[in-house]
Structure 1
Amino acid sequence: MHILFLSDNFPPEVNAPASRTFEHCRLWVLEGHRVTVITCTPNFPRGKVFEGYRNRLWQSEEMDGIRVIRVWSYITRNEGFARRILDYLSFMMMATLASLFVRRVDVIIGTSPQFFTAVAAWVTSAFKRRPWVFELRDLWPESIRAVSAMRASRLLDWLEKFELFLYRRADAIICVTRAFRENLIARGIDLAKIEVVTNGADLRRFASQPKDGALAVELGLQDQFVVGYIGTHGMAHGLETLVDAASLLAGRADGKDVSLLMLGDGAERERLIHYAGDLPNILFVPTVSKEQVVRYWSLLDATIIHLKPDPLFATVIPSKLFECMAMGIPVLHAVPGESARIVEEAEAGEILPGGDPDALADAIVRLQMDPDRRARLSANGQKGVRKFDREELGRTMLAHLCLLAERDVRR
């Protein structure tokens, strides 16, 4: 089977869509299938082309047996609604054109967060007369309202109608959370074509290991209780709460040995650095490569997962949850809903309210003072994450794709 996968994020980018797409496609190649990925020049989230690449009309490479076609797109930082729409639209058009030159395709996938990639998959499906799958990673454009980027807009209303049109036109929809499936069913989408394949972790890469002593010394984190946030510093994450908690801990006698490590890039990073000012117990580190990120995970005594307190975010499962569970890192989890239930069922951490720096600071100190509890949470996380093995989840998704291709009546 030849799978054509459209995604505007792909390695060497290190965000969740890039990692999921790459790890699934790599597995499918190992299972004997052909995979072609159409993506853009790597630039997320800084909006700067990665070293070794140029933003050309067309460039091709091979990564672990995957044919990767990179097309030109309008590149901008992950901020500003109008510029991001131009980014999305340019990739949609160029990916559609590039898809027409990929021969003998059996099934087409378009992945969100934004659905313009799914538009390209739908158009490509119409031209090639092959089934297409909408991989639903985010309820976009609803998430734009949730971060207050555009609260009320006729454009958003129109985009939501078009979103529903795409769900109805897709031959299959693969959601990353059960809450997304329930949302679609409530909006009239046929249950029979909706499947759930959650995010997970590469358990070969992410596993418990001793702290990287050399890195701890390099960062000045030796002899510290290190709490970390690793991931995108975006509008949805409400990370000023973490800075406020660090400020509270800096003024507490029982928080003097706590350091907060903030690793990642995003639209809010520079503002957060300015907001933190000269706080001595917070360290900002820019995004590192996928090969290096495990070293930074190893430094953490606890991790923080946080999103703004908005009802929409109760439907999401931050993918970093599975990585920190696999690493055996206790979770301070400030996201309600489906992801909180995973933490509770695994007994891998503590559930906190979002946007509450006092609750976060208190939880950090409690965890610091109780090494036995940390050990229990660590062991529980490593056990609980086994059901979210990325390799098994990739095989589940592959089975859905094979079934869809086999029953295609347009051949």
Structure 2
Amino acid sequence: MEEILIISNYYPPEKGAAANRIEQLALKLHQNNYTVSVICPLGNYPKGELFPEYKGKFSVTENRDNITVKRLWIYPSVSKNLIVRIISVLSFSLSLSFYLLFKKTPEKVVVQSPPLLLSFISVFVLSLKNKKIILNISDLWPLAAIELKALKKNSFSHKFSLFLERFIYKKATLIIGQSNEIITHVNSFFPDKRCFLYRNFPDHKVESLDLITDLNQPIKIFYAGLLGIAQGVLELCEKIDLNGLNIELHIFGDGAEKTQIEQLISSRKEQKIFFYGMMERNALHEKLKSFDVAIVPLKVRIYGSVPSKIFEYSSLGFPILYFGGGEGEIIVEKNNLGWVAQVENYSDLNEKLKLISNLSKSELHSMKKRIFEDTQETFNLNNQMNYLIEKEVF
């Protein structure tokens, strides 16, 4: 069996889309007769604290579903202090650079980006060793950081990030990107670079629709995922208007805005917003079976970003209320997955909520059935992986 290594900043038992995405890639490569190993930090995300099983350890080697996972030391943090965050990234980058320099690694390596500094160090060392570098780009940094106002344009940090970005694009053997916008962006600098679309399709292994549509309950809209700056869930809770509507909003997740969201919900019980915290993925899916609509928000339109929640929840049969602009908007509309509200326009979002509130539960159930059936073929991870293997991407 051919060997392949994946380098990622996230991997289960860590929660969230990034960890799920890399695990799906690893499992699918294994199912296609690759011997897969993963290098990642000691588990700490999203709280920025080492999980109990990793405390006091410098490195850990595990076997998870036939994937060899090598976890290296990190100084974990989710601090809003930029210096502390940089130290955290540097700590794992240092561990990783020594590992890649002095340990034997497969000839093919998938490098996840962002984080940009981590992917730069990986690509730099691997290029010195003449490895085949498959750069997996999920978001465009530093462009996304500028759009989120997390980085000041033309600052030293911005210019340095641009240097790192160009370097990894240049040195990568080929690139897989999660959106057409990512591929367009890379080709604007390196027109001859081999680039392939790689969507975050899930692999639920659900053969028939098993969602429950409760006729005697309000319409339950849910958000499940990271509660960070990019998602803007706190602002969503502040500006959403459910008064007089047959709708409840249920929030699952963890992240930087968690405490503020909990405080806001506690002070506005009349708004019919409920918070549950983070749940393990399978338990979450079981809990969501009686829910009706998935809301997928972004704080601003982020060029290149396509939230994986679109694929994750439509593939289970949930209609999507999309509130993020960009390519995600096109995907929802093209595939008739639900509703699109103009990004940052809460008046438009509240109008869409009124439309949803007027639907009967039988109409919603018909939508769920159609969306589930359509997405089994449209968002098929096996077909996507087979295509990429045929094209000798891996």
TM-score (norm 1): 0.87
Match of 2:340 in 1: 351
| CA-to-aligned-CA distance 1:321-377 (integer Å, 9 cap, x gap) | 111111211111112221111111111101101223333233223213213542343
Deviations 1:266-322 (A, max 9, x none): 112212223334222111111111221202332321111111233xx2431100111
In structure 2, C-alpha distance between the alignment counterparts of 1:339 and 1:101, rounded to whole Å: 41
Q: Deviations over 1:27-83 (max 9, x none)?
A: 222222111100011111111222433252211010111110000011002644322
Q: Report the CA distance shift for 1:148/1:279 in structure 2 as closer, same or farther (over 3 A).
A: same
Structure 2 unaligned spans of 5+ = none
- Name the counterpart of 2:268: 279
Contact 2:114–2:138 (CA under 8 A) maintained in structure 1: yes
Give how far 1:262 is off: 0.8
Corresponding residue to 2:383 among 392, 395, 398: 392
Tell me if 1:184 matches 2:186.
yes
Counterpart among 223, 229, 236 of residue 223 in structure 2: 229
Corresponding residue for residue 71 of structure 2: 70
Letter matched to residue 23 of structure 1: Q
CA distance, structure 2, for counterparts of residue 59 and residue 85 of structure 1:
23
Match of 1:243 in 2: 237
Residues 1:370 and 2:359 are matched in the alignment: yes
- State how far apart, in whole Å, the 1-side matches of 2:199 and 2:232 are: 24
Query: Relative to 1, partners in 2 of residues 1:168 and 1:314: Cα closer, same or farther, differing over 3 Å?
Result: closer
Report the alpha carbon displacement of residue 194 of structure 1 after superposing the two structures with TM.
1.4
Whether the 8 Å CA contact 1:9–1:18 is kept in 2: the answer is: yes
Matched residue type, 1:358: S
SS of 1:148's partner is coil
1:297 maps to what in 2? Answer: 288
Alpha-carbon distance in structure 2 between the residues aligned to 1:397 and 1:10: 22
Change (3 A) 1:204 1:79: farther
Counting matched residue pairs gives: 388
CA distance in 2, matches of 1:404, 1:243: 42
Contact 1:305 1:321 in 2 (8 A): yes
Identify which range, 61-70 or 136-145, moves more after superposition: 136-145
Summarize the Cα distance change of 1:349–1:271 in structure 2 as closer, same or farther, 3 Å threshold: same
Conserved in 2, the CA contact under 8 Å of 1:230 and 1:264?
A: yes
C-alpha spacing 1:330/1:82, structure 2 compared with 1 (3 Å): same
* Whole-Å separation in 1 of the counterparts to 2:56 and 2:182: 34
Report whether the alignment pairs 1:381 with 2:371. yes
Q: State yes or no: 1:264 paired with 2:266.
A: no
Of the structure 1 ranges 287-296 and 200-209, higher mean CA displacement relative to structure 2 is found in 200-209
After TM superposition, give the deviation of residue 12 of structure 1 in Å: 0.8
Q: Determine if contact 1:212/1:295 at 8 Å carries over to the other structure.
A: no
Deviation of the 1:91 alpha carbon: 1.4
Deviation at 1:398?
A: 4.0
- Determine if the alignment matches structure 1 residue 147 to structure 2 residue 138: no
Q: Is the 8 A contact 1:325 1:382 kept in 2?
A: yes
CA deviation map 1:105-125 (0-9, x unaligned) = 121111012122322322332
Report Cα offsets for 1:212-252 as digits up to 9, x if no partner.
99xxxxxxxx8332111111111111223421344x21xx3
In the alignment, residue 381 of structure 1 is paired with which amino acid? I
The code of the aligned residue for 2:97 comes to T
Equivalence for 1:408:
none
**Letter of the structure 1 residue corresponding to residue 273 of structure 2:** I
Equivalence map 1:215-226=2 (5 Å): 223-226=217-220
**Aligned-partner SS, 1:231:** strand
* Aligned counterparts of 1:191 and 1:279: Cα–Cα separation in 2: 54
> 1-side partners of 2:379 and 2:329: how far apart?
15
> Structure with the greater relative contact order (CA < 8 A, sep ≥ 6): 1 or 2?
1
Where do residues 322-341 of structure 1 align in structure 2 (5 Å cutoff)?
322-341=311-330
CA contact (8 A) 1:5 1:37 kept: yes
**Cα–Cα, structure 1 residues 291 and 50, in superposed 2: closer, same or farther, change >3 Å?**
farther
- In 1, the alpha carbon distance for the partners of 2:52 and 2:388 equals 33
Mark the CA change 1:207 to 1:127 in structure 2 (over 3 Å): closer, same or farther. farther
> Matched residues, percent identical?
21
Q: Read off the aligned partner of 2:221 and give its amino acid letter.
A: V
